[in-house]
Structure 1
Amino acid sequence: MNIREQIEEREELILSPLAAKSRLAVRSREEEPDPLRTAFQRDRDRIIHSKCFRRLKHKTQVYIAPGDHYRTRMTHTLEVGQISRTVARALRLNEDLVEAIAMGHDVGHTPFGHVGEYALRDLVGHFNHNEQSLRMVEVIEKNGKGLNLTTAVKEGIVGHTGAVIPSTLEGQIVRIVDRIAYLCHDFDDAQRAGMLSEDRLPDDVREVLGITPSEMITSMVMDIVENSMDQTEIKMSADVELTMNRFRQFMFKEVYLAPALIPDRNKAAHVVKNLFTYFMEHPGDMEEDFGHNGFYSTVDVVDYVAGLTDQYAIKLFKKFYIPKIML
């Protein structure tokens, strides 16, 4: 019995009967099992070693071109993974699966975060970052071969937001923890930016969740564990879920849609839209070839622009739209 088989055997003994077992994982293309790693561990590693994961370090979370200590998509992703593993461990669910889903859930995010997502949606009519995350790992990575991830990981990635809820409890953990992480940590960054302070939190949020990001995360995680133990779905109590939604409404009003952030967001949308227009007219200037036999579609341009980091998008915008100053 090799090490992977020993881990799979321990999963059967230790994990909840409701947990996803790596021994039963399925891939679209069959592969020889790894002697050391389970299927979900292997998926996690493939995502972490991918180009789309590395680009998250230069993609906006909330603040465009922030200073030190502000979150990026990379740090948000790591925080979602950490909190998700805590919940999974408490519920005796598969930590490796939740980590793999968490590492991949945002790899389809555009430059400048949701601003770029909305800009591409305006241009092509339908664009969602969760669907693009799935496309990144399934189609685009490894020069069009994809990462051949397991079905449970892919389902969790695309289901971390949107109408379709993942069938695995591990996918459901990431779905709810993603919201917990961005609300609490965006509140932390908003305080650092001088946009908010603890005393401005709604009274019910203060009373039910607490006033610091750590207290808020702890309150919601404990509530999830208490209400999901040995259950067939991951859920919060009605009171905590209502308060979290109240907190989310507060954050949209005070931060996500704040007038102070609109000028930079308009500029970011302008960059994304103009790059899309440019590459539709000059597809040969895309530095990575998403086309086939010289043919480029709108999808190829969307894939290329969506994959750019903030910094590289700005660099390309300057290259194609800003005249050079001759000294």
Structure 2
Amino acid sequence: MSSIMSERAPYASDPSQSRGRVHGASLSPTRSEYQRDRDRIIHSTAFRRLQHKTQVFLHHEGQHYRTRLTHTLEVSQMARSIARALRLDEDLAEAIALAHDLGHTPFGHAGERVMNEKMAQFGGFDHNMQAIRVVTRLENRYAEHDGLNLTWETLEGILKHNGPLIDGAGNAVGRYVGEGLPVGFGDIPASEDLQLSTYASLEAQTAAIADDIAYNAHDIDDALRAGLIRLGDLVDVPLAGPIVRQVLSRWPDLERSRQAHEVQRRLITQNIEDVIAASTAAIAEIAPTSTDDVRHAGKTLIRFSDETAEAEQGLKRFLFDNVYRSEAVMAPVRQSQAVVSELFDHYMATLDLPGRWGAAARAAASDTERARLICDFIAGMTDPFALEQHARLFDAARRLG
């Protein structure tokens, strides 16, 4: 195991060579620049709110289901493990992992879909761009500036951990071809251009694949807890099936919860080991000698093997059909979508937002500016706060009606 703790690779991000922060900050005698980013994220208001934001199952349905916060912590642990094995900067990988979901709305992807629909005529909604808004503008804890004043590398990772947003000619790529690029790129406070056409650092790519590993393993765990699926339903499912068969064969009489945990931990371990092996080979093929070589490699280097990538897509299809689109999940999803939709419409019509938010909305120079403020306010809500505000506004109206 001692080799895992070896010296940082030449293609790893080096905190002493960071491209810096928008606002100058004195050097810390005890922490690297990326450690400081990690700490600023952990101490932010937006990070604390993740404990009351939905992952897949609404937070009030049970105390043992993942929230955005527990998911984020699990992603950060996996990202550190992969980064350590690949001799990357663990602290940068962790910082990006901790920040990757800060832009999510209440009620998970259901809330995001509604927000994107409501904001369509005002530039749309993208949770990665919203996370950038959170860490550069909406967090207002510091005396000298808005935002968390994170390093360029952390901002780049938050925005681009899933890959470039445009090609060299400036055309949208990936999912943005159909959806269009979210607004706000020219307004991101960063020490330098975030280079939307290049790949992000290996640390950011590590955070992205750790997110996929965590989603798959833990959504299986939560679905088993909820009774939406049984272990036996997984025996022929790609990626998970062989592990389930091993566990059921070796411990047929073990209580179900322990069988499920054994499947989950083996799936995580197998996935992480696969990523380390496949990524090591991909890095060796390119032979980068710097972070710039990584950014211009033309492809993602932190990856699953081809076999695992194909199986992982099969597992995702199973989860989509049997968990994410099950009525037990979709019924509360529809209710939560109505909450977000009605809140947005009400605030746009009345500007009845609390405190500084209401004052800012009333002073907005245009409907687009006003809508973005309302979007920021709703996206920052926790599930309970959104339900509380909806009840306050609409239950009273129904009683009066």
State TM-score, norm by structure 1: 0.90
Say whether residues 1:216 and 2:267 are aligned partners. yes
Taking only aligned residues, the RMSD between alpha carbons, in angstroms, comes to: 2.1
Residues 68-112 of structure 1 show CA distances to partners (whole Å, capped at 9, x for unaligned) of 211000000000000110101111111100110011100111010
> 1:17, 1:66 → 2: CA distance?
47
Decide whether aligned partners of structure 1 residues 298 and 246 sit closer, same or farther in structure 2, where only a CA change above 3 A counts. same
Say whether residues 1:38 and 2:35 are aligned partners. no
Displacement of 1:291: 5.8
- Contact 1:46/1:147 (8 A) holds in 2: yes
Say whether residues 1:187 and 2:217 are aligned partners. no
Residues 264-308 of structure 1 show CA distances to partners (whole Å, capped at 9, x for unaligned) of 111100000111111112324234437649413110000000000
Residues 198-222 of structure 1 show CA distances to partners (whole Å, capped at 9, x for unaligned) of 2212343245665711111111100
Say whether residues 1:228 and 2:279 are aligned partners. yes
Q: Which residue of 2 aligns with 1:307?
A: 380
> 1:203, 1:282 → 2: CA distance?
50
| Structure possessing the higher radius of gyration over alpha carbons | 2
Displacement of 1:27: 1.5
Code of the aligned partner of 2:326: A
Q: Which residue of 1 aligns with 2:341?
A: 273
Decide whether aligned partners of structure 1 residues 27 and 132 sit closer, same or farther in structure 2, where only a CA change above 3 A counts. same
Q: Which residue of 1 aligns with 2:354?
A: 286
> 1:123, 1:93 → 2: CA distance?
40
Decide whether aligned partners of structure 1 residues 185 and 79 sit closer, same or farther in structure 2, where only a CA change above 3 A counts. same
1:132 aligned to which of 130, 137, 141: 130
- Equivalent residues, number: 314
Please state whether the residue corresponding to 2:340 is helix, strand or coil. Answer: helix
Code of the aligned partner of 1:35: P
Instruction: Indicate the larger mover: 266-275 or 162-171.
Output: 162-171
- Contact 2:136/2:147 (8 A) holds in 1: yes
State TM-score, norm by structure 2: 0.74
> Please, which runs of 5 or more residues in structure 1 have no aligned partner?
1-12
Displacement of 1:16: 0.9
Code of the aligned partner of 1:316: Q
Instruction: Indicate the larger mover: 28-37 or 81-90.
Output: 28-37
Please state whether the residue corresponding to 1:229 is helix, strand or coil. Answer: helix
Say whether residues 1:97 and 2:131 are aligned partners. no
- Contact 2:80/2:93 (8 A) holds in 1: yes
2:306 aligned to which of 209, 227, 238: 238
Q: Which residue of 1 aligns with 2:211?
A: 178
Displacement of 1:161: 3.8
Alignment map for 1:74-113 (pairs within 5 Å): 74-113=69-108
Q: Which residue of 2 aligns with 1:152?
A: 153
Decide whether aligned partners of structure 1 residues 204 and 293 sit closer, same or farther in structure 2, where only a CA change above 3 A counts. closer
Code of the aligned partner of 2:49: R
Say whether residues 1:204 and 2:238 are aligned partners. yes
> 2:215, 2:208 → 1: CA distance?
12
**Runs of 4+ displaced beyond 3 Å:** 160-166, 206-211, 290-294
Q: Which residue of 1 aligns with 2:176?
A: none
Residues 140-165 of structure 1 show CA distances to partners (whole Å, capped at 9, x for unaligned) of 11167111111111111122347547
> 1:311, 1:214 → 2: CA distance?
31
Please state whether the residue corresponding to 1:322 is helix, strand or coil. Answer: helix
Instruction: Indicate the larger mover: 313-322 or 281-290.
Output: 281-290
> 1:162, 1:305 → 2: CA distance?
27
Displacement of 1:323: 2.5
> 1:225, 1:293 → 2: CA distance?
48
> Please, which runs of 5 or more residues in structure 2 have no aligned partner?
1-5, 166-197, 246-262, 289-300, 365-369
Code of the aligned partner of 1:155: E
Code of the aligned partner of 2:9: S
Say whether residues 1:22 and 2:73 are aligned partners. no
> 1:209, 1:131 → 2: CA distance?
37
> 2:85, 2:56 → 1: CA distance?
30
Q: Which residue of 1 aligns with 2:321?
A: 253
Displacement of 1:259: 2.3
> 2:213, 2:321 → 1: CA distance?
17
> 1:14, 1:279 → 2: CA distance?
53
Q: Which residue of 1 aligns with 2:390?
A: 317
Instruction: Indicate the larger mover: 200-209 or 141-150.
Output: 200-209
- Contact 2:164/2:200 (8 A) holds in 1: no
Code of the aligned partner of 1:276: F
Displacement of 1:238: 0.3
> 2:16, 2:358 → 1: CA distance?
35
Decide whether aligned partners of structure 1 residues 237 and 293 sit closer, same or farther in structure 2, where only a CA change above 3 A counts. closer
> 2:90, 2:303 → 1: CA distance?
18
- Contact 1:130/1:161 (8 A) holds in 2: no
Instruction: Indicate the larger mover: 15-24 or 276-285.
Output: 276-285
Identity of aligned residues (%): 38
Q: Which residue of 2 aligns with 1:53?
A: 47
Code of the aligned partner of 1:263: A
2:115 aligned to which of 114, 117, 120: 120
> 2:361, 2:335 → 1: CA distance?
35
